[in-house]
Homo-oligomer: A and B are copies of this chain.
């Protein structure tokens, strides 16, 4: 997917919502257990109930790997379902991979060829050759972890470097942005630290940012918009648990629909307010 196609989706749906498919087998309604692939069935119903409000889905790999082969099948079925039914939607593998060059090449093949994801999250710790093999694919995206929304973000990402008196996460952004462009690189910036978006925007005004941590992990959408918007929106805001587990009864999909709509309406208001639509 190209930047223009992504922005077009944002304009059409008046939304910059990504729904995280962190589907935990133990949390889905019992009624789904009659299906051969209950996690896929849960995803399918969530997707059908929310597709009109969201521009992206983001399955988190851990939740599929924990089920072994069945999980891997459920993941492939989910990606294929979105691809066929909602071809306009951006699909992110929340995989946080990163390895030496020849191994990263394999991961790129796994996520961009074997499975047809549009984007993958990657950890920057191993440096350039762990990232660049993914950037060789046309119209595919790399989303680099810069500043994450968890407590552990303080341990290393916010340490200051002697070389330039800047935080590590800023150095990650500064160097890695030279490996690609705003048309194939995005960054994860945790919304728990929305004012830091201002700092980030000084370095990368044009890149898209993937913002986790709105919803169950805290963080205000209005703050994120204030500090993070650029003229093509430039934000993809993720919500996982607050939408997919808003209700744990057989009404889960209906309630997810309502929750996604609520978020989309707030997004529409913000997009209008900042004259992005």
Contacts and interface: CB of A to CB of B under 8 A. Distances in A.
A226 interface: no
State the oligomeric state as a number of copies. Answer: 2
Interface in A67-114: 67-69, 72-73, 76, 94, 96-101, 103-104, 106-107, 109-111, 114
Q: How large is the interface on A (under 10, 10 to 19, 20 to 34, 35 or more residues)?
A: 35 or more
A110 B156 contact: no
Contacts of A160: 161-163
Given A165-B162, A168-B156, A72 B62 contact: no
A123 interface: yes
Nearest to A217: B100
A249 interface: no
Closest 7 CB pairs of A and B: A127-B152, A127-B155, A62-B106, A100-B150, A65-B110, A66-B110, A160-B162
17 contacts: A24-B106, A60-B103, A60-B106, A62-B104, A62-B106, A65-B106, A65-B111, A66-B114, A94-B99, A96-B97, A100-B149, A126-B145, A126-B152, A127-B155, A128-B152, A160-B161, A162-B165
